[in-house]
Structure 1
Amino acid sequence: MTGMFVYFFLVLAVIAWGAHLVWRWKQTKDFAPELLKSRKASGELPETVGEAEFTDLYVRAEGPRAGTYIYACGAFMTVGLAPLSAVFNTVWDTFWKLTGGSPVFEQGTLIHTFSFFLTFMGIAIGILALALHRYYTLMPPNLKQIIRSLKESHA
């Protein structure tokens, strides 16, 4: 029963984390027009740059993308904990019964718990590796590059 409460609070923490990320994306979008005005006032950007165009590019470049990828991995692992545990224990139990039911390999023993830990960590590392590969493959330009390209295209 205590495990259910821990899992419930873990899910609540993931929901709060998601809400925080949504708020940070909104802050980034809300800040873009102010930044555009200051860059136009300083002469760094021409007056012909539109607010919608700049906002879209700014949000892509400066939004909390890394945090969003990490959140997606964390949320997937949190939600996937119960089904992954069930699948692992079903497979473990099947192999345990097929090998004669040795008490050394019964569920809850040290070897079972350690094997579960290694499996879960392997899955988590694999998911993080895929997410980081995608993050770096699809990385947008930074703000300096955006300003340079906007200057060139509107000159």
Structure 2
Amino acid sequence: MLFIFVGIALCFAIWAGLIYWNYLGIKKEARIVYDAALSRAEFPADEPFEPFETAHLKTSVLRVSIYRWAACATAAIVLPLAVGFFSFVWVRLYYLTGATDVFSEGTLIHSFYLAVMTMGSLVLVAGLYARAYHKGRTHDFEVEWAKAKTPDPATLNA
């Protein structure tokens, strides 16, 4: 059993490493795009690179990769907990109601109930992460670049 847990953790670690590698590539790409736009005189030569890079990172595919990783990691944790919880509820209701053997643990009805309820819990996890992703999603590079160029009022007095 430990081998399975280590294997799953290793898969998530490799996936996180690939996301980090993607992050480094997007940072390089930001420099290339910035230099190309600067050479075409799309903005003044004294324009700093850091706000451009920040906006480029915020509007890249990196954000969705991080949300996917976090949602899958959460689902990997929630899934066994959901199966255990819903099975516990089923067994308790079975013994409290004195139901027939058709409703005992391990029957087709029980398996269908577990499948539907665990799928519902996974849909809930996916829905929560999708909502969080789309709520804070940045759509426009120009808007993000303008935000990155303006200083944060909270840090001005520090």
TM-score by length of 2: 0.79
Instruction: Provide the secondary structure at the position in 2 that maps to 1:139.
Output: coil
Report the CA distance between 1:145 and its aligned residue: 5.2
Partner of 2:40: 42
Separation in 2 of the partners of 1:116 and 1:97? 17
Q: Residue 28 of structure 1 contacts residue 59 of structure 1 at CA under 8 Å; is this kept in 2?
A: yes
Instruction: Provide the secondary structure at the position in 2 that maps to 1:134.
Output: helix
1:124 to 109, 122, 125: 122
2:25 to 27, 32, 53: 27
Report the CA distance between 1:16 and its aligned residue: 2.1
Partner of 1:66: 64
Q: Tell me the amino acid that sits aligned with residue 103 of structure 2.
A: F
- Which has the larger displacement, 80-89 or 90-99? 80-89
Instruction: Provide the secondary structure at the position in 2 that maps to 1:62.
Output: coil
Report the CA distance between 1:42 and its aligned residue: 1.2
Separation in 2 of the partners of 1:25 and 1:119? 36
Instruction: Provide the secondary structure at the position in 1 that maps to 2:98.
Output: coil
User: Aligned residue pairs: how many?
Assistant: 149
- Cα 1:7–1:104 change in 2 (3 A) is farther
Q: Residue 62 of structure 1 contacts residue 143 of structure 1 at CA under 8 Å; is this kept in 2?
A: no
Separation in 1 of the partners of 2:7 and 2:40? 48
1:138 to 123, 133, 136: 136
Unaligned segments of structure 2, at least 5 residues: 151-158
Q: Residue 11 of structure 1 contacts residue 78 of structure 1 at CA under 8 Å; is this kept in 2?
A: no
For residues 3-34 of structure 1, the C-alpha deviation after alignment (integer angstroms, 9 at most, x for no partner) is x7556544432332222112212221232222
Q: Tell me the amino acid that sits aligned with residue 107 of structure 1.
A: E
Q: Does 1:16 align with 2:14?
A: yes
Partner of 2:81: 83
TM-score by length of 1: 0.80
Separation in 2 of the partners of 1:121 and 1:91? 16
Partner of 2:54: 56
- Cα 1:112–1:92 change in 2 (3 A) is same
